[in-house]
Structures are given as C-alpha cells and as structure tokens.
Chain A
C-alpha cells in the first residue's frame, strides 16, 4: 500500500521568502504526483500534476519536481505572499490518490 509523508507539518516564513515543501512516497510505481492547496474548511485546489514520465512541472511561482527513484517530490514556492497561506497536500496515484497529511504554510506579512 502506498504511504505518503509530508515534512514539515507546519511552516511559517516571512513574506518574500522562497520555500520548499517536501513529499515522500513508498511505492515508486506511481501514475501521477499531484500537489493541492486547501484553505480552511474548503475543498482542494489542484496546483500541479506530474505524470510518472515527467520530472517537473511549473506554474507561475510554483515548481514541482518528481524523483521516482528516491520516492520524493518537492514543491518550490518563489517569493511567497500572504495569500499563499494554506495547507499544501501531495497525493500519489491515479484516480485513487493516496494523500499525505499536508504542510500548513503561514506567510507572515
């Protein structure tokens, strides 16, 4: 069974700082690795999807990488803003996604 771990559980940074969120998974035979954002009490917003044949994806200030051999993915956020404050979840799999417990990010103005 796929297990997904996210470290750290919580992170506070000053506005403008670049940061990296980490995600590790146990089964390297994954279809996709997807990063989501979740605001309190809300659903999930898809940020980036990396297919198993890809190494990274970029969208605006976000860059996600995938290293299947080491079972790791990272989400890089450049020039963080207070509006980036949310919980970030990574998930491995296809339509049956295995989620980590998330990293709660706070960007301090």
Chain B
C-alpha cells in the first residue's frame, strides 16, 4: 500500500508569491494534518482536517489556509510568502481522531528567496 504522498518534493518561490502544497493520505485514512518543520527544530502543527472539516488550527497567521477534498486528499495554501516560511512542510494522515498513530509523508521542501 502506498504511504502518504506529497507533491511537489521541492519548490522555490519568491517573497510575496503564493504556494499550494498537496497531500494524498494513506488509503482508508480520513484525517489529514499539516506541520511545518524549520531546520533544526521539531515539526509545528498547522492544521488538522477530518471528514473535510477543520478540526484544529495551530498558531499560524491567516496567510496559511487548507482544505480537504471528498477523496480525503488535502491542499495547504500559503499567501504572501515570507523568507521565514522556508521550511519542510509535512503532511500526516491517520485513521481517525486522537487515538490512532500519525503517518507522515516525506514532505515538501519550500525555499522562499
């Protein structure tokens, strides 16, 4: 079975641009979460979606938004990119809420110049 897949793997953008990152969860998983990992730090929670509804939001500005589609795949959008948005963006999926382990994709490496 395929794991969590993310696209693209690498991306270079200029300050002020916007970006869309994509994630396909493991088959049968209905929850998708997004995390930002800055170099040398642990991942930080951005969003969680379950059954197409937002179930949690971390401490990120409104420039960050996300959605989940009927097939449970998800997009993360970031507007007005800043240099500080450069990071590894990780998507994770799980069967449901709270008690099942998270399974992560390999991430999208975003560089903002």
Check if A and B associate.
yes
Residues of A within 8 A of B (CB): 4, 31-32, 34, 36, 41-46, 49, 51, 89, 91, 94-102
For A102, what are the chain B residues with a Cβ–Cβ distance below 8 Å?
42
Residues of B within 8 A of A (CB): 4, 6, 31, 33, 35, 40-45, 48, 50, 55-56, 58, 88, 90, 92, 94, 97-99, 101-107, 109
- Do residues A44 and B104 form an inter-chain contact, with CB atoms below 8 A? yes
A43 partner, pick from B41, B44, B104, beta carbons under 8 A: B104
* Main DSSP-derived SS at the B contact region: strand
Which residue in chain B gives the minimum CB-CB distance to A42? B106
- Do residues B55 and A95 form an inter-chain contact, with CB atoms below 8 A? yes
B42 partner, pick from A4, A41, A94, beta carbons under 8 A: A4
- Do residues B45 and A94 form an inter-chain contact, with CB atoms below 8 A? no
- Do residues B42 and A101 form an inter-chain contact, with CB atoms below 8 A? yes
- Do residues B33 and A95 form an inter-chain contact, with CB atoms below 8 A? yes
A36→B55 CA distance, assembly (Å): 23
Which residue in chain A gives the minimum CB-CB distance to B93? A95
B102 partner, pick from A97, A98, A100, beta carbons under 8 A: A97
